[in-house]
Amino acid sequence: MEAHQHSPDSSSEECTVLEAPPGKNACPQHSGKVADHYCSACECALCEDCVGDHVEHPKVPLSQALEQHRSSLQESLGTIQSRLPQISDALSFIKEILQQLTNQRASIEEDIQSSFEDLHKQLDVRKSVLLMELEVTYGLKQKVLQAQVDSLVRGEGDIMASSTQTEEALAGEACVASHQVERELQENLQELAGLGLPCQPEENDQLDLIMETDGLRKSIHNLGTIVTTSAVASQSEAMGAGLEQCIVGHPSSVTIVTRDKSGGACKSGNAILSAEVFTPDGSIVDGEIVDHKNGTYEFVYIVPKEGNFSLALRLYDQHIKGSPFKLTVSGAFEAEVEVSGECVASTVTVHFKQTSSL
């Protein structure tokens, strides 16, 4: 026990007035009296005047009580300080997750920006193509119809001019002098009568636009999804016969239920899960994780030989509750004897069906 450093306290003033200087061990109840005992029941220091009130109570010498308190305080200090490395580890781990989350956000933001820029570009290109197609189609049809208009206007003009000339000629007196002119007019009129004019439309006015945008709008409305879950490894658990008894060469199944920090079941899929079966040689047995998209997942695996193995189930790189699990893998023969001793294949099939239905 460490020696007390002398420091002035509230009792030191009274100490000068009263006979015995009580120092640091002054009785809290009786000024000037020195406490030399400690009541364990009342947890207080006692002077000789106090003792009468604590006759029935267990008492220890004050120095012993103080020493006990000190060592208990020291112990508590050790206990609490031993938590620090754990907190420090957790802190750096959670900071890492936070940093990763922040990085993910930045990268997704970039992806969204560039994806939408691409789509905008594609839309603009399509718009230009459509406008160009409209121009070309219109141009072709317009050219045909305009040519028809031009040729009809020309024909109309010619006919009107000849008609006027002929009417003027007809208005004059018929004589030899005019005969030659009239013969020319006659030829002219016959030529015009035989002239093929494009009186039937050689094009139509159809120029329509079909824009099927409903499906596209729907697609755009649902374009892109932010995928995540609130699942945490410390609350998520695994169940199923595949955790305990496996048969060599036959599929075993484990169901993983993902839960959030409060233990509530997650209802959506897409959590990042990994499963590894470690053989004693350290090799890894392959299996398949099926996402049921409802917060539960199934790990189906086949162990190729007998023995004791470990199954590690990790959610976001963290072991789930109880992971790694110890697996006992027995031979097909053992399992057969266990049930009926009949055909190996059928016995195993039954066993597997029970397993997978869990």
Distance between CA atoms of residues 47 and 22, nearest Å: 10
Cross-sheet strand order for the sheet of 44-46: 44-46, 37-39, 59-61
Contacts to Zn ion by CB under 5 A: 27, 29-30, 39, 41-42, 47, 49-50, 54, 57
Shortest spacing between CB 18 and Zn ion, in angstroms: 13
Distance between CA atoms of residues 32 and 272, nearest Å: 71
Is the Cβ of residue 1 or residue 41 nearer to Zn ion in the bound state? 41
Query: 49 with 33: CB under 8 angstroms?
Result: yes
Is the Cβ of residue 31 or residue 188 nearer to Zn ion in the bound state? 31
3-state secondary structure of 72: helix
What is the residue-wise DSSP string for 30-53?
Answer: STTPBP-EEETTTTEEE-TTTGGG
3-state secondary structure of 308: strand
Residue 124, token pair as written in the block: 């603009």
Shortest spacing between CB 31 and Zn ion, in angstroms: 9
Is the Cβ of residue 61 or residue 263 nearer to Zn ion in the bound state? 61
Shortest spacing between CB 63 and Zn ion, in angstroms: 17
Is the Cβ of residue 39 or residue 275 nearer to Zn ion in the bound state? 39
Shortest spacing between CB 243 and Zn ion, in angstroms: 56
Residue 114, token pair as written in the block: 């560039």
Is the Cβ of residue 48 or residue 342 nearer to Zn ion in the bound state? 48
Shortest spacing between CB 3 and Zn ion, in angstroms: 24
